[in-house]
Chains A and B, each alone.
Chain A
Amino acid sequence: MNLLEVEGMSKIFGGLVAVNDLDFTVEEGAVVGLIGPNGAGKTTVFNCITGNYVPERGDVHFQGKSIKGLKPHSIVELGIARTFQTIRLFSRLSVLENVLAGRHCRLKSGFLASMLHLPSQRREERDAVERCMQELEFVGLANAWREEGGSLAYGSQRLLEIARALASDPKLVILDEPAGGMNDQETSDLVNVIEAIRKRGITVLLIEHDMRLVMKICHKLVVLEHGTLIAEGVPDVVRRDPAVIEAYLGSDDNDEVY
């Protein structure tokens, strides 16, 4: 079953067609990689899915329903959580509070219950904190819960963003270059985390430049060039696709593929 369906999506900035009539699907339970050379429009596609941009043409279906035109926070509520290419943590808030941000949309206490510190609100807070600590445990940052988000090492910040996304009980997580700026050790930890996310039954869609990582963990690849789809399929097939080799893999750093 397709969890996410992108149909004929086009996004235009002024005279630039960033995404051109793009179609692809993300199957439930899969890890799907969106790849392509720099400037191919990958992040724009993500932003169109998460509601940060509204595509000019086409539609996005999530669990069979159109989510085009919804605001980002509503899309998170429906079950799509994301991380950002340029890390966007709340750097002056604690690690735990960063994860609690992801949990926010699943909590119900309103202004009155909060101001009056009602028992129901306190119980909800306790549960939320416990749940968020589990997410920190999941990415291996539980001991750092007290620290400021901005004080973490770069790789840990990326993991914290993932924990924050997971705290919203997503059905689909969208990771924008999760391995960006990570060293080899951090990258291999990340592979384990993504694998564990999939095992939890959460579908993963990611943009990544690290080809080794992509080939290792993705069930399917979607290749973009100049905003247009040039290949879609399992990694082994995509890797041999002449169009892909010419556009992307066959450029100056061929060795990186393996």
Chain B
Amino acid sequence: MSQSAFLDFSDKRTYGAVAMGLLIAVLPLFLNAYWIDVCVSIGLYAILSLSLNVILGHAGIFHMGHAAFYAVGAYVTAILNTMYQWSIFATMPLAGLAAALVALLVARPIIHLRGDYLLIVTVGIVEIVRIALTNDVFGITGGSNGIFGIARPRFFGFRIVKSVHFYYLVWGMCAATLLLFHWLWRSRIGRALNYIKEDDVAAEGCGVDVTHYKLMAFVLGAFWAGMAGTLYAAKMTTIAPASFNFMESVIIFAVVILAGGSQLGVLVSSFLFIGLPELLREFSSARMLCFGLAMMIMMVWRPQGLMPPRPRRYRIPDRSKAGEEGKA
């Protein structure tokens, strides 16, 4: 049953993935609280980037406003928790749904736009959301100060407070995301998104409802970003519009582009993008210079990204043998 097996050990990359999974599982044992916090942050970016990967990596939709949906999720959690005393985990589906709804409303009129035009509009989306939050449009977002005193999440009576708790929460969510999106990628829907990325006219001509699938990729990605927003709000206990600026969107976008399309690539690239600047902190003023240079070298050296996705595997009965049997 090689087709349904999740791990394919004929691919060297699988060993890398397993090693990485084990490493992430035991990493907190060797890290102090500061570095565990950094890793929580990397995990959040990884979830966000995986959700953007569905839109940008699989469907090829140039979307640079993903922080907007992250913000919507975080604010829904913050508002429901501080004003209506909802528990954090109870707000999570709603945070996702709210982000998905916003995505549906803003994307429906623009989804047919060509790549570069769409990019400009999505940049607008993230700015509109940030400015709306700053100006306290509904009187519930706390203006530029944001929202304070978000409660710690409880998991069956267990209170998630310490960095290491959040570490396993965030990376657990990341693992679930990896699995669900991997299966999505393997399905007819993952293929449909790839057809659209390759040639949308041909995809439509083959019977793929291009507008529908582009929109749904957008909505699903936003839903996931909204849920990541819940985790962010719970981790920080304080959120403000400044955390969801355009630069955040650019970072998530860059993580996905650097990754090259595969989910493992997104993980590696999250570590590089978020972890590397922390490692380079000693160089203080020069660190962004080093980082920028590394990016440039990367793009020249591997323009296709770190890890382009491997071809999907299909279980086809061995044809050469079947032919021989036929002859015999």
Question: Do B207 and A77 have beta carbons less than 8 Å apart?
Answer: yes
Map CB proximity to A onto B304-327 as digits: 1 under 8 Å, 0 otherwise. 000000011011100100000000
Question: Do B204 and A71 have beta carbons less than 8 Å apart?
Answer: yes
Question: Do A104 and B216 have beta carbons less than 8 Å apart?
Answer: no
6 smallest CB-CB distances across A and B, nearest first, come from A105-B207, A114-B187, A76-B207, A88-B202, A117-B183, A90-B198
At the interface with chain A, which of B167-175, B189-197, B290-298? B189-197
Contact of A129 among B190, B201, B316 (CB under 8 A): B316
Question: Do A116 and B194 have beta carbons less than 8 Å apart?
Answer: no
The yes or no answer to A65 lying at the interface (CB within 8 A) is no
A115-B188 CB under 8 A given contacts A84-B205, A105-B208: no
Complex Cα gap A165–B202 (Å): 11
Question: What's the nearest-Cβ distance from chain B to residue A95, in Å?
Answer: 11
26 contacts between A and B (CB under 8 A): A71-B209, A72-B205, A73-B207, A73-B209, A76-B205, A82-B205, A84-B202, A88-B201, A88-B202, A90-B195, A90-B198, A93-B191, A93-B198, A94-B314, A96-B316, A97-B312, A101-B203, A101-B206, A102-B206, A109-B189, A113-B187, A114-B183, A114-B188, A116-B180, A117-B4, A129-B316
A109-B188 CB under 8 A given contacts A104-B206, A117-B183: yes
- B216, closest chain A residue (CB): A111
Given contacts A93-B198, A122-B4, 5 further A-B contacts (CB under 8 A): A97-B194, A104-B188, A116-B183, A124-B188, A165-B206
Residues of A with C-beta under 8 A to B199: 88, 90
Complex Cα gap A52–B216 (Å): 22
The yes or no answer to A142 lying at the interface (CB within 8 A) is yes
Question: Do B180 and A115 have beta carbons less than 8 Å apart?
Answer: yes
Map CB proximity to A onto B232-245 as digits: 1 under 8 Å, 0 otherwise. 00000000000000
Complex Cα gap A96–B4 (Å): 18
List the interface of chain A (C-beta within 8 A of B).
Answer: 50, 52, 71-74, 76-77, 81-82, 84, 88-94, 96-97, 100-102, 104-105, 107, 109-111, 113-117, 121-122, 124-126, 128-129, 133, 142-143, 145-146, 164-165, 168
List the interface of chain B (C-beta within 8 A of A).
Answer: 3-4, 180-181, 183-184, 186-192, 194-195, 198-199, 201-210, 216, 220, 311-312, 314-316, 319
Residues of A with C-beta under 8 A to B186: 114, 117
Question: What's the nearest-Cβ distance from chain A to residue B218, in Å?
Answer: 12
Question: Do A111 and B189 have beta carbons less than 8 Å apart?
Answer: yes
Residues of A with C-beta under 8 A to B181: 115
Question: What's the nearest-Cβ distance from chain A to residue B215, in Å?
Answer: 12
Complex Cα gap A145–B205 (Å): 21
A76-B206 CB under 8 A given contacts A101-B195, A117-B183: yes
Complex Cα gap A72–B207 (Å): 7
Complex Cα gap A82–B181 (Å): 32
Complex Cα gap A125–B203 (Å): 19
Residues of A with C-beta under 8 A to B202: 84, 88-90, 101
Complex Cα gap A73–B207 (Å): 4
Complex Cα gap A71–B112 (Å): 14
Residues of B with C-beta under 8 A to A168: 206-207
Residues of A with C-beta under 8 A to B192: 101, 104
Question: What's the nearest-Cβ distance from chain B to residue A244, in Å?
Answer: 30
Complex Cα gap A143–B198 (Å): 24
Residues of A with C-beta under 8 A to B316: 96, 129, 133, 145
Complex Cα gap A255–B312 (Å): 49
Question: Do A114 and B205 have beta carbons less than 8 Å apart?
Answer: no
Question: Do A129 and B314 have beta carbons less than 8 Å apart?
Answer: yes
Question: Do B198 and A104 have beta carbons less than 8 Å apart?
Answer: no
Question: Do A107 and B188 have beta carbons less than 8 Å apart?
Answer: yes
Residues of B with C-beta under 8 A to A145: 314, 316
Complex Cα gap A93–B192 (Å): 11
Contact of A104 among B184, B191, B312, B319 (CB under 8 A): B191
Complex Cα gap A88–B209 (Å): 17
Residues of A with C-beta under 8 A to B198: 90-93
Residues of B with C-beta under 8 A to A105: 206-208
Contact of A125 among B187, B220, B311 (CB under 8 A): B187
Complex Cα gap A145–B314 (Å): 10
A142-B319 CB under 8 A given contacts A104-B192, A111-B216, A111-B220: yes
Most chain-A Cβ atoms within 10 A of its Cβ — which of B181, B201, B206, B220?
A: B206
Question: Do B204 and A101 have beta carbons less than 8 Å apart?
Answer: no
